Amino acid sequence: MEGSQNGGVEGRGISMMTKKATKHRLLGVVFVLLIGLGMSGTGALADPLPSWNDGPAKQAVMEFVRMVTDKSSSQYVPPQQRIATFDNDGTLWCEQPMYFQGLFAFDRVKALAPKHPEWKERQPFKALLENDLKALSASGEKGAMEILMTTHAGMTTGEFEKIVKDWLATAKHPRFKRPFTDLVYQPMLELLAYLRENGFKTYIVSGGGVEFMRPWTEKIYGIPPEQVVGSSIKLKFEMRDGKPVLMRLPEIDFIDDGPGKPVGIQKFIGRRPLAAFGNSDGDHQMLQWAAAGEGRRLMLLVRHTDADREWAYDRQSPIGRLDKALDEAQRRGWTVVDMKKDWKKIFPFE
Amino acid sequence: MEGSQNGGVEGRGISMMTKKATKHRLLGVVFVLLIGLGMSGTGALADPLPSWNDGPAKQAVMEFVRMVTDKSSSQYVPPQQRIATFDNDGTLWCEQPMYFQGLFAFDRVKALAPKHPEWKERQPFKALLENDLKALSASGEKGAMEILMTTHAGMTTGEFEKIVKDWLATAKHPRFKRPFTDLVYQPMLELLAYLRENGFKTYIVSGGGVEFMRPWTEKIYGIPPEQVVGSSIKLKFEMRDGKPVLMRLPEIDFIDDGPGKPVGIQKFIGRRPLAAFGNSDGDHQMLQWAAAGEGRRLMLLVRHTDADREWAYDRQSPIGRLDKALDEAQRRGWTVVDMKKDWKKIFPFE
């Protein structure tokens, strides 16, 4: 799960080791390298995408990588331009029965409720605490925003990071009874690693909150905080007891979804992705933006077709609806993964 | 000017080469590595900061790097946490007689004037076209904003990039009669490269416009677009003749200056810098934010003290004022570079 980052560290390691190199150390280094080469030489013969069935999706991915990394190909792209952007919810991990960040917010309201006795009589909190989904739904966008800001704002960035980490360490998914970070797609972990091995810089570009993702994406996906783009609320720098803090304000800063995704890509990365991966209409414009660049591109949609192992939903789903983007994918020949057919394995724990 | 980026590419190169490794190729690779090792072994004996005079500033930088990269040191920091943030105007390149982006805006108004005959009678354009600095100054923030939006908004991101590149290719600095990208500080180029050699990821965190910097920072500083944080105007995704574009809107999105710098760092990088470099009170909070992290840190201010080779200004200057940050630097022992004393050479062309 590391790939190019790892390559970078190794590269630096070599350069640092050599600084004080004596002949003796040099021989040692060469020996270590020989072992390393031998090992990766053997490993490299293995399939880089073992959880993918042979089929058009796997072929499209591998053919794309081959063409843009082959220096003799007319479609060759230098490494620094190999930017790959991945949606998160429904593309790298599950998004049912609702976005995990929503479940986090609900748990937070319940955890905070003892300090807010007034919530027993106040919507949308009353509905949430009573598990009254109908009343909760009736509170609409205003209710959702109130829950969001109550649970995500009013603390420092450091405090929020700790809250997220603590929740992930204990909370369990209602269907799978496992930590949420177990519910990542094994084939996509392999794809991330495979792209990094081939010089790609992998980014998350998600409608989810950026600070909800950053505490765990490096460990789970091998994607460091600085390569996570997401939605955000405003921050304010202030001094608290003589120490600077960043306070999270109850005000939307940026919505990284739909047409916001190409905007987020430009704001945070400043390069057009060579490859873009999504699963819903919220990723449609990101794929259009990637597709409109020059030269060879890869646009891929994950289609949820496996109700037994995961879920099956697309055009009618309120969460992760895949409709217009699917039409365009079919019209323009973008790659569509059929989870049931294309993936041997869904989760790492299977 | 590449360093760790380069290390990364090399690391990947090794891993890719080995994929189809035969015994013959393997020997070739080892041979290449031996040469590489020998060369960098020799090179490492050279001073990494040759344009810096020996003195407390150079010593502080080198001692900091030694301590955070030495695995046996209690102050060791793993490479992925080695984030270094640099202000741009006045820290990496000049900012006199005014911010270069301001000179760009003035040139743009003059270039666009033939299509806007009404500007001859309308402020602030009239003042600018007549070089009437007093009237221009009297137009205040409203006038400045109008000039900014007229010259920076209303086109696509791609069109703006071209405008910036074309300007840089032809415009000359009024005092030095050279392209603006020549007016970068040689000692800071060496510092950027030295930090990258030591596993740091180098970022720009500037009050300047992010899209004004990205077209040239990779070539000039070795800092890729995705490592440039700056001020921005809003963007809007739209379809134009069936092709997606990002339009630049005449509306401020984010001001990356003063207390905005720690906010920008958190938004775009999501990690606290281990080292921060600035030259003015606009960098004060960035240095405070870096200083408040745990463990060893480096906070450095470039003080403009050389009127002969560059400029001399600090507490009274309307551009790049260095006053409160200088007080705190002196109080807390942050590193202050005296350009006249500490730098053998200011510009690469000297």
pLDDT digits (tens, 9 = 90+) for B215-272: 999 999 999 999 999 999 999 999 999 999 999 999 999 999 999 999 999 999 999 9
What the block records as the tokens of B210 is 């992010």
Q: Do A260 and B237 touch (CB under 8 A)?
A: yes
> How close, in Å, is residue B238 to chain A by CA atoms?
8
Res A296: pLDDT: 97
Q: Which position has the token pair 């076209």?
A: B129
Instruction: Report the sign of the C-alpha dihedral through residues B71, B77, B82, A207, in that order.
Output: positive
Answer whether B237 sits within 8 Å of A268, measured CB to CB: no
Q: In this complex, do B288 and A244 lie within 8 Å of one another by their Cβ atoms? A: yes
* Segment A261-319, tens digit of pLDDT: 999 999 999 999 999 999 999 999 999 999 999 999 999 999 999 999 999 999 999 99
For A99, the token pair is 């976005």
| Cβ distance of B232 and A267 shorter than 8 Å | yes
CB atoms within 10 A of CB B56: 13
B248 pairs with which residues across the strands? B235
Tell whether the model's pLDDT for residue A113 goes beyond 60. yes
Instruction: State how far the Cα of A272 lies from the Cα of A264, in Å rounded to an integer.
Output: 11
Residues from chain B that touch A210, judged by Cβ atoms under 8 A, are 267, 270
Confidence (pLDDT) at B21:
40
pLDDT average, residue stretch B189-217: 98
pLDDT higher than 60, residue A25: no
pLDDT band (50, 70, 90) for residue A16: very low
More confident residue, B24 or A290: A290
* pLDDT tens, position by position, A145-200: 999 999 999 999 999 999 999 999 999 999 999 999 999 999 999 999 999 999 99
Mean pLDDT of B286-310: 98
Q: What is the DSSP letter of A53?
A: P
A227 Cβ contact list (under 8 Å, min separation 6): A201, A202, A203, A204, A217
Distance CA A175, CA A181 (A): 14
Closest CA in chain B for residue A26: B37
User: Which residues from A are below 8 Å from B37, CB to CB?
Assistant: 14, 18, 21, 26, 29-30
pLDDT for A181: 98
Q: What is the mean pLDDT of chain A?
A: 90
Average pLDDT in the B303-326 region?
A: 97
DSSP E strands in chain A: the ranges are 83-86, 201-209, 228-240, 243-254, 275-278, 298-305, 312-313, 335-338
Q: B39: pLDDT confidence band, cut at 50, 70 and 90? A: very low
Mutate to test the interface with B, among A237, A271, A283 (most CBs of B within 10 A): A237
Q: Does B16 sit within 8 Å of A14, measured CB to CB?
A: no
Q: Which has more pLDDT, B87 or A4?
A: B87
More confident residue, A27 or B178: B178
If one counts every other C-beta atom within 10 angstroms of the C-beta of residue B246, the result is 21
Using DSSP's 3-state secondary structure scheme, residue A278 falls into strand
The whole-number average pLDDT for the span B155-170 is: 98
User: Considering only CB atoms, which chain A residues are within 8 Å of B20?
Assistant: 44
Contact, A170 vs A77, CB < 8 A? no
Q: Which of A226, A238, A248, A254 best probes binding to B when mutated, by most B CB atoms within 10 angstroms?
A: A226
Contact A251, A278 (CB under 8 A): no
Helix A186-197 to helix A56-69 angle (10° resolution) is 20
The alpha carbon dihedral of A329, A330, A335, A336 has a sign of positive
| Model confidence at A27: pLDDT above 80 | no
How far apart are alpha carbons A225 and B276 in whole angstroms? 18
Mean pLDDT of A332-347: 98
Do A12 and B16 count as a contact with CB atoms less than 8 A apart? no
Chain A residues whose CB is inside 8 A of the B246 CB are 262-263, 266
Instruction: Report the distance separating Cα B35 and Cα A279, nearest Å.
Output: 47
ipTM, interface predicted TM-score of the complex: 0.87
pTM of the model: 0.87
B235/A263 CB distance under 8 A? yes
- Give mean pLDDT, residues A90-119: 97
Residues of A in Cβ contact (< 8 Å) with B211: 270
> Alpha-carbon distance B118 to B126, whole Å?
9
**Residue A45: per-residue pLDDT:** 63
| Alpha helix positions (H), B228-298 | 260-268, 284-291
List chain A residues with CB under 8 Å of B244: 262, 285, 288-289, 292
Residue A20 with chain B: CB contacts under 8 Å = 44
Distance of alpha carbon A320 from its chain centroid, rounded?
15
Q: Please report which helix (H) or strand (E) contains residue A315, including its range.
A: none
Does residue A29 carry a pLDDT above 90?
A: no
Q: What is the reported pLDDT for B44?
A: 52
Can you tell me whether residue B276 is helix, strand or coil? strand
Note the residue count of chain B: 350
CA distance A70 to chain B (A): 11
Q: At A347, is the pLDDT very low, low, confident or very high (cuts 50, 70, 90)?
A: very high
